[in-house]
Amino acid sequence: MMPRAGLEVPLHIPARYMLVAVLSLLGWIVMAPWMITETIAAPLSYPVISWVHLLTVGCIGSMILGASIQLVPVALQVPFPAARIAGWSWFLWIIGLVIFEIGFSREVLSLLVPGATLLGIVLLLYALAITQMVRTAPHRDAVAWHLLAASWFAVIGFGIGWMLALTNVNGVLGGRMLPILGAHIICMIVGWVVLTLLGVSYKLIGMFTLAERQLNQRRALASGILIASGTLVIVAGILLASPRWPITLATLLISVGVVLAILEIARMYRKRMRKAIDVHMPFAIVALTGLNVSALLLVIISLEDIPLASNLTITAIWLVLTGAIIVAIQGFFYKISTFLIWLRTYAPLAGKGPVPQLDQMYRKNLAYIGLGAWLFSVIAIALSMVEILPLWSWWCAGLWIGGVLWCFNVVRISRHWFGPRPQISATPQPRSAH
């Protein structure tokens, strides 16, 4: 689907967020061999929390914001409100991220609250922008409701995270810090990231495979309602110190919702009009498998007395972050970035001379090799976390290989930003009617 005139946000605005995401992922990968053993030994230590937030906030959060600024207006067919605010909010985001990371990594706890506040301002602006676009959208489908719910889960999760940052300074939460940390994790990962990922997947997979009309809106919406309801019940149950059974029931709702979403996406693939194997498809299959396993583990974890002290919890978080979300981001990035840069650089030249095809802007074989290497490390480290395999730092070699190959392709794609540009005639040309 081509963007409608007037919907496009200047590409440099989302590109800034995506650059932060790529650099954050590189930094996270570099530290992985040293941090993975620390994660298992002391998962709540400040260096580990800093390392995890480099992935979740620096990479995943930045990528969601950047992709949303560019793609949500196209998906909802409404312009992005206040694109200029989205531009300067990047500075708040990067400053907040740096301050927040320094606060945890250097244990300068007084920096946590101001850093988190800057990040929270950007998330609030993001939620308000999504709300405005959904409110004015000519058609509100399952994708729109997924994105709307996810944006406000981000705000709720930030509020909980802000309280956690404050309690690191003055101990305001007292002995409640550990369970409330669980509420923060569920709200941000399931409520924000997973709902966003599924909503975006419905749209992007439909576009990439010409299967948009195959999406069953009722089933997709039902899946989102189950996931959102389960997340709300878990968060409210933890904050209100409710009995365990409502929380366990809520994890079942999330698990059923994830399974329904996966079945709907599988149905879209089966009925797709473009039958060729697209580059994103192996990444999507791996990501959905990781998401399904993580959702099932969540049900088991809810039965444990102290969930955050369990190796199974660490494993579930590891799988959903590295085996589902990051893999999906890598796969979709190959399609999103090439499409946007091709439109910017080559679309005006189409029909006037040779231009590259989208899959010629990167090396597909390196993409698949990188995915295989990444998946090897994800599985090996997950098995080490549950003590099936010994924990060795060199298990992270696949992360390095997969990350480097992905970044190599990112550079290959990005260089087309500076490719040939059309010559602009000095004589004004009449505008065609649309």
**Among 99, 145, 146, which Cα is nearest to 122's?**
99
Mean pLDDT of 310-316: 89
**Among 261, 205, 204, 207, which Cα is nearest to 230's?**
261
Mean pLDDT of 85-98: 92
pLDDT bracket for residue 166 (50, 70, 90) = confident
Q: Give the least confident one: 130-144, 151-165, 342-356.
A: 342-356
Are the CB atoms for 340 and 70 separated by under 8 Å? yes
Task: Please state whether 10 falls in left (phi above 0), alpha (psi between -120 and 50) or beta.
Answer: beta
Q: Give the least confident one: 143-147, 196-200, 248-252, 427-431.
A: 427-431
pLDDT bracket for residue 53 (50, 70, 90) = very high
Res. 419: pLDDT tops 70: no
pTM, entire model: 0.91
What b/e string do you get for 259-280 counting C-beta neighbours within 10 Å, with b at 16 or more? bbbbebbeebeeebeeeeebbb
pLDDT bracket for residue 94 (50, 70, 90) = very high
What is the rounded average pLDDT for all residues in the chain? 89
How confident is the model at residue 420, as a pLDDT? 60
* 3-class secondary structure per residue, the chain: CCCCCCCCCCCHHHHHHHHHHHHHHHHHHHHHHHHHHHHHHCCCCHHHHHHHHHHHHHHHHHHHHHHHHHHHHHHHCCCCCCHHHHHHHHHHHHHHHHHHHHHHHCCCHHHHHHHHHHHHHHHHHHHHHHHHHHHHCCCCCHHHHHHHHHHHHHHHHHHHHHHHHHHHHHCCCHHHHHHHHHHHHHHHHHHHHHHHHHHHHHHHHHHHHCCHHHCCHHHHHHHHHHHHHHHHHHHHHHHCCCCHHHHHHHHHHHHHHHHHHHHHHHHHHHCCCCCCCCCHHHHHHHHHHHHHHHHHHHHHHCCCCCHHHCHHHHHHHHHHHHHHHHHHHHHHHHHHHHHHHHHHHCHHHECCECCCCHHHCCCHHHHHHHHHHHHHHHHHHHHHHCCCCCCCHHHHHHHHHHHHHHHHHHHHHHHHHHCCCCCCCCCCCCCCCC
pLDDT tens, residue by residue, 169-212: 666 676 678 888 999 999 999 999 999 999 999 999 998 898 98
The fraction of the chain above a pLDDT of 90, given in percent, is 64
Task: Compute φ and ψ for 350, nearest 5 degrees.
Answer: -60, 130
Cα torsion through 359, 360, 366, 369, rounded to 10: 30
Mean pLDDT of 277-300: 94
